Amino acid sequence: MKHFTGTILTLILSFLITATAEAGQSCATHNASDIKARASEYQTTINKYSKKYGVDSRIVTAIITTESCFKTKARSHKNAVGLMQLMPKTAKRWGVSNRRSVDQNIRGGTRYIAHLIKRFNGDIKLAVAAYNAGEGNVDKYHGIPPFKNTRKYVKNVVLVYSKLGGYKLRVKVKQSKRYRKKSQLRENERKKKVSKLDFSFYTTTLTTIKKLVPQG
């Protein structure tokens, strides 16, 4: 029953996310020249905020290409608005008062993806998945959520990023304190488990040897 309920919830979430993403009609399949031509009008703004928040401008361009195909008036069924399809809560979180403002929309979206890249320790795919499906879902599924549209979204963003010459490069970002701490805790736990296993193996082996060797 629990499995059935979980499946239903997953399907509902997938449907809602799909409805959200339909607004911009992604142009991820377009060639690099066309994408760059569409981005040219906003490139100065993209570069400005990419530099400010320490993120590769090609990632921002790839997200805009996938989210809205550079349609400034794009609006989804879930009320995501603008080039980077900001939801009201996301806009508020990142200090965007007017989601229809090109400058504010790009600023808010760039700041958000920069945060996600740091949060997920430089993993571009997880960061992009979180941009689409939410951070909570990436945490819940310990990776890219099993939503069909989210997986397609990640694939499209990566495709565009590759066309722009970005994905083959290792994106260097400073780990957030939160993730450094979590990574350290996980490493400590792993070492403890290994130590316990080693000790257990040692004692078991010693006991076996004692049984095999005649006492006298």
What CA–CA distance (Å, rounded) separates 20 from 187? 38
Q: Higher model confidence: residue 21 or residue 154?
A: 154
Confidence of residue 22 (pLDDT cuts 50, 70, 90): very low
The yes-or-no verdict on residue 170 having pLDDT over 70 is no
The yes-or-no verdict on residue 62 having pLDDT over 60 is yes
Least confident of 55-59, 96-100, 175-179, 204-208: 175-179
Q: Looking at residue 166, what is its pLDDT?
A: 81
Spatial contact of 20 and 74, defined as CB atoms under 8 Å apart: no
Task: Convert the pLDDT of each residue in 95-144 to its tens digit.
Answer: 999 999 999 999 999 999 999 999 999 999 999 999 999 999 999 999 99
Confidence of residue 154 (pLDDT cuts 50, 70, 90): very high
Task: Convert the pLDDT of each residue in 184-212 to its tens digit.
Answer: 676 677 666 656 655 666 567 667 666 66
Q: Looking at residue 178, what is its pLDDT?
A: 59
Rounding to the nearest 10 degrees, give the CA dihedral for residues 181, 182, 184, 186: 160
**Which residue, chain included where needed, has tokens 């703004």?**
45
22 is catalytic: no
End-to-end CA distance of the chain: 62
Element (H, E) at 44: helix 43-53
DSSP state of 75: B
Q: Looking at residue 33, what is its pLDDT?
A: 95
Q: Which one from 22, 41, 67, 189 is the annotated catalytic residue? A: 67
- Map residue 81 onto helix, strand or coil: strand
